[in-house]
Structure 1
């Protein structure tokens, strides 16, 4: 009897261990991971990442290196998708992770954020560099972190484009260019999720972030269902200020007429440094950012793997 009991205990231990391994996520973003990426993208060395500058070029090279290290391939001949921004040559950085399912790999999800900023701002205490930590090194950090996760997890049945957009500050020029190019290629776009200004928590909300264009699709509902928590909510101010039309999701919505929306935590009360030289990494909540990125993983995983396209326009 003693031997049988020991055998049962051993089998239970093995079963529990296997279950734990199966359920444990691949590497997810840590606070220190987020801090490292943010400290570079919002550093003075990049001089505010204005379109056509050496600072933006350094940011693009950094993103390329992160993609290469992660095993994210270029979608085009190189990672850089060049275009003209009102007379200045600039680029989007586009990474590609092919889907693992023979059929669903023909469907694409775009995960994006803009990585450019305005360069300089009004001088404060001798500082003129608008570092753009929240706007939008924060969103860029989310895309880079998610690219790392999914490249390692290899769990995406659908294909993914991880895109850092250029010239957003010039009028959504990078996303407009890429959306048009992909439409001309007849890309089968399922949905697009964009990250914008996620560096600080919302004030007094039950949800962690809001989504622009909340009412145009069931994306918020599905993200909450997929993540198993109230991750995404409705922000009336986002509708009032028409934020759905003011970020890089919008050109994709226009071209493809599918759900393309932006996740953000800037609620008009929680951050005073929009397009300001004090939009610095010192103002960012890295722990919150890592938590939001990691909370997004189960939802995006589900988006990439459902047998049918469950996220739909209303």
Structure 2
């Protein structure tokens, strides 16, 4: 998140353990080839090997799996991308990857190109990557839902001896990966009654420039934006909470209640620290709130105690919990489906 003031950090120690799985044949996230994936995520006792476990014990139908998540995360956080700094060669490679996922999963460009060049960035060329999935309902397709995350990070850090690349796994390859998994799902299911814009923003770390640019551009088009749902730092689970994610601006709308009803559980909750540090204004939801005055909020699991590598070179993929991330994707899909296909606009500001 942009300019979060960190009060107390402690590194979350995550155990390693194998996962008992059933198998199903589905689509690879990047090339649509048939692959075998997990159908049940049920961690076995820690044996010191295998993928990290978030302690999940419930069965779930796994459209997304830890392997799906890992494949995307390892590319986005690879040293080849040099920390995905805005305007860099590395972030251009990330944009190519995102575009490839869109193309292979029936997500068309919203504009003439997937690359939406920022008009408010002067230090070189920067662009959002913006995909579009038209709605299937004759009336509701005119209403738009934006599902977004920023894909940039802070690039190279000076003064580092061993490693100077800030790979940005939790911030925000985790949110980018989550949105790409949603695009893969909805792009292949094709049952979204409302239209969906999948927006991966650049220059978030420069002051939310990518989302500000896109919000203003879409406002000029006078689109009927229903809600903007943003995903930020969802790579590790929260500590000692009775919900999986928190919502910035929790008290401003009924989005948490609507989300929990469609998730059929207490999936989204309130984090006091998010309100204390006004995280509602510190991520890419804010420009859409400003431009459209519709519910525009961010889902996150960064709780100020579970991740100590924010804006450090240690924000590596090896610290991410892929079982947790896959579970978030799978449990968010019915929530998104409910919001996208509801016959009325249920999500409202209070």
TM-score by length of 1: 0.91
1:253 maps to which residue? 289
Contact 1:27–1:149, Cα closer than 8 Å, also in 2: no
1:241 maps to which residue? 277
Partner-residue secondary structure (3-state), 2:174: helix
2:226 maps to which residue? 190
The question of 1:38 aligning with 2:70 is answered: no
Could you list the runs of 5+ residues in structure 2 that have no partner in the other structure? 1-59
Match of 2:109 among 56, 68, 74: 74
Q: Residues 134-145 of structure 1 correspond to what in structure 2 (within 5 A)?
A: 134-145=170-181
Deviation sequence 1:18-40 (CA, Å, 0-9, x none):
xxxxxxx9972111000000000
Match of 1:199 among 230, 235, 238: 235
1:167 maps to which residue? 203
More helix by share: 1
Contact 2:70–2:322, Cα closer than 8 Å, also in 1: yes
Contact 1:121–1:275, Cα closer than 8 Å, also in 2: no
In structure 1, distance between residues paired with 2:62 and 2:227: 24
Residue 86 of structure 1 and its aligned partner are, at CA, apart by: 3.4
Q: Residues 215-230 of structure 1 correspond to what in structure 2 (within 5 A)?
A: 215-230=251-266
In structure 2, distance between residues paired with 1:62 and 1:114: 14
Match of 2:85 among 46, 50, 54: 50
Contact 2:61–2:330, Cα closer than 8 Å, also in 1: no
Partner-residue secondary structure (3-state), 1:145: helix
Runs of 4+ displaced beyond 6 Å:
none
1:19 maps to which residue? none
Q: How many residues align?
A: 290
Partner-residue secondary structure (3-state), 1:197: coil
Deviation sequence 1:5-29 (CA, Å, 0-9, x none):
xxxxxxxxxxxxxxxxxxxx99721
In structure 1, distance between residues paired with 2:313 and 2:156: 7
Q: Residues 8-47 of structure 1 correspond to what in structure 2 (within 5 A)?
A: 28-47=63-82
In structure 2, distance between residues paired with 1:79 and 1:247: 22
Residue 283 of structure 1 and its aligned partner are, at CA, apart by: 0.5
In structure 2, distance between residues paired with 1:38 and 1:148: 15
Residue 88 of structure 1 and its aligned partner are, at CA, apart by: 2.4
In structure 1, distance between residues paired with 2:72 and 2:311: 20
The question of 1:284 aligning with 2:320 is answered: yes
In structure 2, distance between residues paired with 1:86 and 1:243: 26
In structure 2, distance between residues paired with 1:73 and 1:136: 23
Greater Cα offset, 76-85 or 36-45: 76-85
Could you list the runs of 5+ residues in structure 1 that have no partner in the other structure? 1-24
CA separation of 1:190 and 1:211: change in aligned 2, threshold 3 A: same
In structure 1, distance between residues paired with 2:330 and 2:228: 18
Contact 1:123–1:277, Cα closer than 8 Å, also in 2: no
TM-score by length of 2: 0.81
